[in-house]
C-alpha cells in the first residue's frame, strides 16, 4: 500500500538529522470532539423542567442550573447561576410561569456558577430591607474569600486552562463542559447571606416547609434542600451531574474527602426522595431511579477510594495506583453518571493518595531531587544529545505514542524554552491527545498548553485573562462583604523577605465606620496580624471600610487616598513607606506549561 504523501514527509523528517530541520513539515490537525463528550450536548438543551407540583429547574442556560420553588407566599430561588445576563434570561422564563415575588434565595455552596447571578433575581435593597432572605452554610463567605483573595492569582490562571479560556473558536464549537454548557466569564454579582446554617435547619420559607441539610462533598459548605411535602430533593453538587464526579479538580482545590462525600450521598439516600433535582444536568424522576443514581454514584466513588487505599497499604505509589485502580464494567459503563467526562479515576486516585499521605512516596531520592533543568541536561547528555532525543520524540509521535513524545520533548524544552522543534512536537502531541480525550478538563488543559507551546498566547495574556476570571471570583459586590480582617490577612502572604528581612515595624489600621482596630507587625520577613492596635504603636492609618473596598477592587490607592483626605496618617511617613515597601502586590505574568 502506498504511503500517503503527508505521512511520507513526516517519516522522511524522522530519519533526517534533526539539526537539518528548522521545523517539522506542516500538518493540519483538524479540531475534533470525542463523540461521547459531544453527545453530552443533548443533555443541556435549554428547558425549564417542572418537578412535582411546585419545583422548576432551568437547564442549559449556564454551567449550573437555577431552581425555582413556588411556595404559597412567594418564590424560593435555589442557586443563581454564574452570570447576571444569563440569569436574567432564566428569570424571564420563570416569569412566564408565575408573578409571585421572590421571598428567599438559597446558595447551596460557594462556587461561582452557583452564586454569581443573584442580582438577576433580587436586589440588594430587597435583602437589606428584610424583604428577601438569603440562606447559606455558615462557612460560605469564608470560602468565597479564600477562593478569590488568598490564592486568587494562581487559581485564576489554572481556571483559565481548566475552562479553556483562550481556546480559539474552532476548538470551542459544539463543545460543552460535560456537566453543563460552556462557561462564559461575564460580570458577576453577589449579596452576602442573611441567614446561615450549621448542621441542619428545619424551617418554613414563604409558607412552605423546607429542610436545609449540610452535606459536604464537592465543596465543604454544601447544603441540600429537601421539600418533605412532595419529597423533592435538590441535591446541590453532592450528586454532581451527568458524569463521574470531580473528586479532585485540576484547577486546584483543597482535599475533597471522598469518605465524607460518600457519607453525604448516603444521607441523601435515607430521605427516599421521589424526585432528584441536581444542579447540573436534568432532574431524575421516581424513587427507584433516584435511589439507583445515588447508589451507583456513591458506589463508583467508594470503589475508587477503597481500592486506592487497599493498594496504598500494599505499598503502591500514585504512578502504580493509576494502572491498578480501574472501575469494573458495571460501574464504568453506568452512563452518563459514571462516565469519565468531568472527573477521572486517574486524577482522583492521585489526590486520594496525596490526601492521606502527602507528596512523599517513600523513596528518599525525592527528598532533595536534582533541579528540573539540570536533570534534563544530564538525561539528554546520557541519551546522546538533543538531536537523538528529538528524533526519538518524533518517532514516538509518528507511531501515535503521543504521551512519550510529549515527555521526551519536555526535557529539551526545560533546557531551552525557545527550542521550536521540541515545542512543536509537544504541541502537536497535546492536540492529538486533547481532541481524542473524553474528559472536558483534560481536553482543555491539553489544548491550552498546545497554544502556549505554539506561541499563540504568552504569560501577559494569561495574566490579563486571569484578571478577568478573578473579577468573576472576586467581584465588587463580593468585596463589599469583606471585613477589614479579611483585607489585612491577605497582606500576610504578600511579604517580600528580601525587602523585609531587616524591618521590625507595626502599622495600626483604624476603621471608624465599623469601629474596628487591627495592626500588622512586620518582624524580619514575617508578618503577623493583631486584633486591636498594640500599645506603643506610633504608625497608624485611619480610613473607612468603604475606602478599603476600593483598595481591594483596584479603584483606589493609599497615596491617592492620603492626598484626597480618605486616609489619615499618623507617624513617620518614611517609616510607613518602609513598612508598605515590605509587601509584594505585583501580578507577574506566567504560563503553566513551558517550565
CB neighbour list of residue 249: distance below 8 Å, 6 or more residues apart: 162, 256, 441
Partners of 276 in beta bridges: 233, 284
Strands 66-71 and 47-51, by their bridges, are: unpaired
Domains of the chain: 5-26+367-467 (1.25.40.880), 35-357 (3.60.15.30), 482-580 (3.30.1050.10)
What's residue 27's pLDDT?
Answer: 87
Q: Grid coordinates standing for 75?
A: 418564590
* DSSP secondary structure letter of residue 168: -
Distances (CA, A) of 543 to 469, 510, 513, 568: 29, 6, 8, 7
C-alpha–C-alpha distance, residues 152 and 580, integer Å: 21
Annotate 231-271 with three-state secondary structure.
CEEECCCCCCCCCCCCCCCCCCCCCCCHHHHHHHHHHHHCC
C-alpha–C-alpha distance, residues 459 and 465, integer Å: 10
What's residue 470's pLDDT?
Answer: 64
What confidence tens digit (pLDDT) does each residue in 548-565 have? Answer: 888 776 677 887 888 888
Nearest to residue 142, comparing CAs of 236, 195, 220, 66?
220
Q: Grid coordinates standing for 436?
A: 481524542
Strands of the 55-59 sheet, one edge to the other: 47-51, 55-59, 66-71, 74-78, 102-106, 133-137, 195-197
Q: What is the mean pLDDT of the chain?
A: 91
What's residue 146's pLDDT?
Answer: 72
What's residue 237's pLDDT?
Answer: 97
Question: In the block, which residue shows the cell 531520592?
Answer: 365
What's residue 12's pLDDT?
Answer: 42
- pTM score: 0.92
Q: Which residues of the chain have pLDDT under 70?
A: 1-23, 148-149, 185, 466-474, 553-554
The answer to whether residues 342 and 241 touch, using CB atoms and an 8 Å cutoff, is yes
What's residue 143's pLDDT?
Answer: 87
What confidence tens digit (pLDDT) does each residue in 464-484 have? Answer: 776 666 666 667 777 777 888
C-alpha–C-alpha distance, residues 518 and 136, integer Å: 28
What's residue 288's pLDDT?
Answer: 98
C-alpha–C-alpha distance, residues 391 and 377, integer Å: 17
The answer to whether residues 227 and 142 touch, using CB atoms and an 8 Å cutoff, is no
Q: Grid coordinates standing for 492?
A: 500576610
Partners of 70 in beta bridges: 75
C-alpha–C-alpha distance, residues 224 and 430, integer Å: 39
How many Å is the Cα radius of gyration of the chain? 27
Amino acid at each position: 500500500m502506498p504511503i500517503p504523501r503527508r505521512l511520507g514527509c513526516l517519516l522522511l523528517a524522522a530519519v533526517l538529522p534533526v539539526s537539518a530541520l528548522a521545523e517539522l513539515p506542516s500538518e493540519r490537525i483538524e479540531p475534533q470532539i470525542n463523540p461521547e463528550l459531544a453527545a453530552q450536548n443533548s443533555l443541556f438543551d435549554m428547558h425549564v423542567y417542572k418537578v412535582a407540583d411546585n419545583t422548576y429547574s432551568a437547564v442549559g442556560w449556564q454551567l449550573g442550573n437555577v431552581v425555582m420553588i413556588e411556595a404559597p407566599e412567594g418564590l424560593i430561588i435555589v442557586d443563581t447561576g454564574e452570570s447576571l445576563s444569563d440569569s436574567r434570561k432564566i428569570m424571564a422564563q420563570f416569569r412566564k410561569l408565575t408573578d409571585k415575588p421572590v421571598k428567599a434565595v438559597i446558595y447551596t455552596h460557594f462556587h461561582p456558577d452557583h452564586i454569581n447571578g443573584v442580582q438577576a433575581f433580587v436586589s440588594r435593597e430587597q435583602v437589606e430591607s428584610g424583604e428577601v432572605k438569603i440562606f447559606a452554610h455558615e462557612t460560605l463567605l469564608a470560602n468565597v474569600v479564600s477562593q478569590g483573595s488568598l490564592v486568587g492569582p494562581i487559581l485564576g490562571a489554572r481556571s483559565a486552562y481548566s475552562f479553556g479560556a483562550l481556546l480559539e473558536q474552532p476548538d470551542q464549537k459544539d463543545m460543552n463542559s460535560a456537566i453543563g454548557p460552556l462557561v462564559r466569564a461575564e460580570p458577576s454579582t453577589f449579596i452576602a447571606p442573611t441567614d446561615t446554617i450549621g448542621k441542619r435547619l428545619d424551617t418554613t420559607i414563604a409558607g412552605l416547609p423546607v429542610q436545609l441539610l449540610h452535606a459536604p462533598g464537592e465543596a465543604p459548605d454544601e447544603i441540600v434542600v429537601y421539600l418533605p411535602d412532595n419529597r423533592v430533593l435538590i441535591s446541590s453538587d453532592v450528586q454532581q451531574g451527568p458524569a463521574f464526579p470531580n473528586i479532585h479538580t485540576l484547577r486546584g482545590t483543597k482535599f475533597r474527602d471522598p469518605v465524607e462525600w460518600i457519607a453525604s450521598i448516603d444521607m441523601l439516600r435515607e430521605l427516599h426522595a421521589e424526585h432528584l433535582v441536581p444542579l447540573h444536568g436534568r432532574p431524575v424522576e421516581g424513587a427507584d431511579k433516584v435511589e439507583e443514581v445515588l447508589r451507583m454514584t456513591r458506589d463508583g466513588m467508594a470503589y475508587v477510594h477503597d481500592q486506592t487505599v487497599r493498594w496504598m497499604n500494599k505499598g503502591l505509589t500514585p504512578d502504580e495506583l493509576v494502572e491498578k485502580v480501574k472501575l469494573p464494567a458495571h460501574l464504568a459503563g453506568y452512563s452518563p453518571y459514571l462516565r469519565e467526562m468531568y472527573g477521572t479515576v486517574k486524577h482522583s486516585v492521585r489526590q486520594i493518595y496525596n490526601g492521606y499521605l502527602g507528596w512523599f512516596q517513600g523513596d528518599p531520592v525525592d527528598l532533595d531531587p536534582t533541579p528540573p533543568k539540570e536533570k534534563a541536561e544530564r538525561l539528554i547528555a546520557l541519551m546522546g544529545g538533543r538531536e537523538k532525543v528529538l528524533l526519538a520524540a518524533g518517532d514516538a509521535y509518528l507511531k501515535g505514542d503521543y504521551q512519550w513524545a510529549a515527555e521526551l520533548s519536555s526535557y529539551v524544552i526545560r533546557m531551552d524554552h525557545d527550542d521550536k522543534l521540541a515545542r512543536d512536537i509537544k504541541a502537536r502531541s497535546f492536540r492529538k491527545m486533547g481532541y481524542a480525550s473524553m474528559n472536558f478538563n483534560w481536553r482543555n488543559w491539553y489544548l491550552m498548553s498546545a497554544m502556549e507551546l505554539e506561541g499563540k498566547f504568552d504569560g501577559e495574556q494569561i495574566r490579563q485573562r486571569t484578571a478577568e476570571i478573578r473579577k468573576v471570583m472576586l467581584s465588587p459586590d463580593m468585596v463589599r462583604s469583606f471585613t477589614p480582617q479579611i483585607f489585612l490577612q491577605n497582606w500576610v502572604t504578600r511579604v517580600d523577605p528580601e525587602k523585609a528581612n531587616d524591618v521590625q515595624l507595626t502599622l495600626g489600621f483604624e476603621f471608624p465606620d465599623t469601629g474596628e482596630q487591627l495592626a500588622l507587625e512586620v518582624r524580619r520577613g514575617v508578618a503577623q496580624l493583631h486584633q486591636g492596635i498594640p500599645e506603643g504603636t506610633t504608625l497608624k492609618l485611619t480610613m473607612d471600610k468603604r475606602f478599603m473596598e476600593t483598595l481591594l477592587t483596584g479603584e483606589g490607592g493609599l497615596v491617592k487616598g492620603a492626598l484626597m483626605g480618605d486616609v489619615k496618617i499618623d507617624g513617620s511617613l518614611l517609616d510607613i513607606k518602609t513598612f508598605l515597601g515590605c509587601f509584594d502586590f505585583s501580578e507577574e505574568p506566567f504560563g503553566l506549561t513551558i517550565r
